[in-house]
Amino acid sequence: MLYLASKSPRRHELLTRLGLPFGVLDLDIPEQRQPGEPAEEYVRRVAREKAGAGLLSVIGNPSALVLGADTEVVLDDEVFGKPRDEADAGDMLRRLSGRRHRVISVVSLVSPARESMAVSVSEVTFTALEEARIQAYLAGGEWQGKAGAYAIQGRAEAFVSRLEGSYSGVMGLPLHETARLLREAGLDA
């Protein structure tokens, strides 16, 4: 049985696209970058912790496969997680305006017998954003709960002047990498 260790509606929607049945595990894993921890290692660690906590919650199921994922926006080695509030979201968008940033998305798949991981790094370039455009975006609330304060699958898609990498990875679950991990684990994805 496949489980998704995530409360994210975007990850649920993306995993559904692979056509496999799965259960959802509602976990609350702290996402705190350690001092000196490289950005990619941080994202790897959080994805692994989500998958591991999910596996512990279904420990009685020897056929369980648990998928954990984490996605973060990184600008100049600074991780832009989920904004604390609207002011924080506005600050993030102003800093991303007219700049290129990385989106690191890591998928961790664990079972009682194995662990595998895949990393997707995308390069996203934002057009220059006028303050009125930032304020209009903030007013819509789409920034809430989104790494980097934007949802590429929503109105912020118009901010992206260039994308190199995985669109689904920027959304929160890189489907190419996820499907590969699931096939390697014996599922027909």
Residues with catalytic annotation? 70
The Cα 41–Cα 74 span in angstroms is 12
Contact by Cβ (8 Å): 52, 46: no
Of how many residues is the chain composed?
189
CA atoms within 13 A on the CB side of 111: 15
For residue 151, the SS3 value is coil
List CB contacts of 149: < 8 A, sequence separation 6 or more: 80, 83, 88, 89, 90, 92, 93, 96, 143
The Cα 137–Cα 94 span in angstroms is 12
